[in-house]
Amino acid sequence: QVQLVESGGGLVQPGGSLRLSCTASGRSFSLYTMGWYRQAPGKQRELVASITSSSGINYADSVKGRFTISRDNAKNTVYLQMDNMTPEDTAVYYCNARWSQLLASWGGGTQVTVSS
């Protein structure tokens, strides 16, 4: 079992920035595909960004050019740098780790609110 803990959420004004962090307990972190998902009230959960074990990256169209995903395998941590934020980015953000087609773990989520 891999335990994931997110941090860095909070309240930010439109145009501002936040950096989310997710730290994993597993010793094989470097082998995992890591992802950030978000779910806003009344909307479906969506993939925001993912990064593979070989650092291949995928972004949702809505965040391309504004968000940056990265990983530090020595720290067992994946980051999501969020810049030029808008109220549409308001959601609970979840960290995901996948190491096989059948095995994955989720963090408990962190609230991000973009508001004036």
- The pLDDT, as a whole number, for residue 100 is 87
Buried b (16+ CB within 10 A) or exposed e, 45-74: eeebbbbeeeeeeebeeebeeebebebeee
pLDDT (tens digit per residue) in 18-53 = 999 999 997 899 999 999 999 999 999 999 999 999
CB 78 within 8 A of CB 87: no
**pLDDT single digits (tens) 42-84:** 999 999 999 999 999 999 999 999 999 999 999 999 999 999 9
Task: Give me the pLDDT at residue 21, please.
Answer: 98
Inform me whether the pLDDT recorded for 102 exceeds 90: no
pLDDT given for residue 101 in this prediction: 85
d(CA 67, CA 49): 8
